[in-house]
Amino acid sequence: MKHVFLINPRAGKGDRAARLQAMANRLAAVHDLEVSCLLTDRPGAAESLARALAETGEPLRLYVCGGDGTLHEAANGIAGYSNAAMTVIPAGTGNDFLKNFGPDAAKFTDPENLWDGPDFPLDLIDCSGRLCLTIACSGIDARIADSVHRYGRLLSGRGSYLLSVAVNFLCKPIGRRWRVELDGEVIEDDFALVSVCNGRYYGGGSMPVPQARMDDGVLETILVKNVPKATFARLFPAYSAGAYRKFPHIARVVTARQVTITACPGEEDIVTCLDGESFRSREVRLGLSDKRVRFFGPAGCSPNATAR
Ligand SMILES: Nc1ncnc2c1ncn2[C@@H]1O[C@H](COP(=O)(O)OP(=O)(O)OP(=O)(O)O)[C@@H](O)[C@H]1O
pLDDT in tens, 84-111: 999 999 999 889 999 999 999 999 999 9
Atom 18 of ligand 1, residue of closest alpha carbon: 67
Ligand 1 centroid, distance to 146 Cα (angstroms):
13
Ligand 1 centroid, distance to 37 Cα (angstroms):
17
Atom 10 of ligand 1, residue of closest alpha carbon: 43
pLDDT attached to residue 103:
98
Which of 10, 109, 132, 148 to mutate to test ligand 1, by most ligand atoms within 8 A of the CB atom?
A: 10
Ligand 1 centroid, distance to 158 Cα (angstroms):
17
**How far apart are alpha carbons 135 and 200 in whole angstroms?**
7
pLDDT attached to residue 149:
79
- Nearest atom in ligand 1 to 66's CA: 18
Atom 9 of ligand 1, residue of closest alpha carbon: 43
* Helix spans in 132-221 (H): 140-151, 157-165
pTM of the model: 0.96
Ligand 1 centroid, distance to 11 Cα (angstroms):
5
Backbone φ and ψ for 5, nearest 5 degrees, come out as -90, 115
* CATH match for 131-288 among 1.10.10.10, 2.40.50.140, 2.60.200.40, 3.20.20.70: 2.60.200.40
Q: Is 2-123+292-296 a CATH 3.30.56.10 domain? A: no
Ligand 1 centroid, distance to 8 Cα (angstroms):
6
**How far apart are alpha carbons 65 and 15 in whole angstroms?**
11
Q: Spell out a b/e string for 255-294, using b for 16 or more CB atoms within 10 Å of the CB, else e.
A: ebeebbbbbeeeeeebbbbbbbbbbebeebebbbbebbbb
pLDDT digit of tens for each residue in the chain (308 aa)?
Answer: 999 999 999 998 888 999 999 999 999 999 999 999 999 999 999 999 999 999 999 999 999 999 999 999 999 999 999 999 999 999 998 899 999 999 999 999 999 999 999 999 999 999 999 999 999 999 999 999 998 878 876 777 777 777 888 888 888 999 999 999 999 999 999 999 999 999 999 988 999 999 999 999 999 999 999 999 999 999 999 999 999 999 999 999 999 999 999 999 999 999 999 998 999 999 999 999 999 999 999 999 999 999 99
Atom 25 of ligand 1, residue of closest alpha carbon: 68
Q: Give the sheet arrangement for strand 293-296, strand by strand.
A: 34-39, 2-7, 60-66, 84-90, 293-296, 119-122
pLDDT attached to residue 212:
98
pLDDT attached to residue 153:
67
Topology match between the domains 2-123+292-296 and 131-288: no
Asked if residue 262 lies in contact with residue 248, where contact means CB atoms within 8 angstroms, the answer is no
pLDDT attached to residue 164:
83
pLDDT in tens, 30-53: 999 999 999 999 999 999 999 999
Ligand 1 centroid, distance to 266 Cα (angstroms):
33
pLDDT attached to residue 152:
74
Q: Domain segments of the chain: what residues?
A: 2-123+292-296, 131-288
Atom 3 of ligand 1, residue of closest alpha carbon: 42
Ligand 1 surroundings by CB, under 6 angstroms: 8-12, 40-45, 66-70, 73, 92-95, 276-277
pLDDT attached to residue 151:
80
Ligand 1 centroid, distance to 152 Cα (angstroms):
12
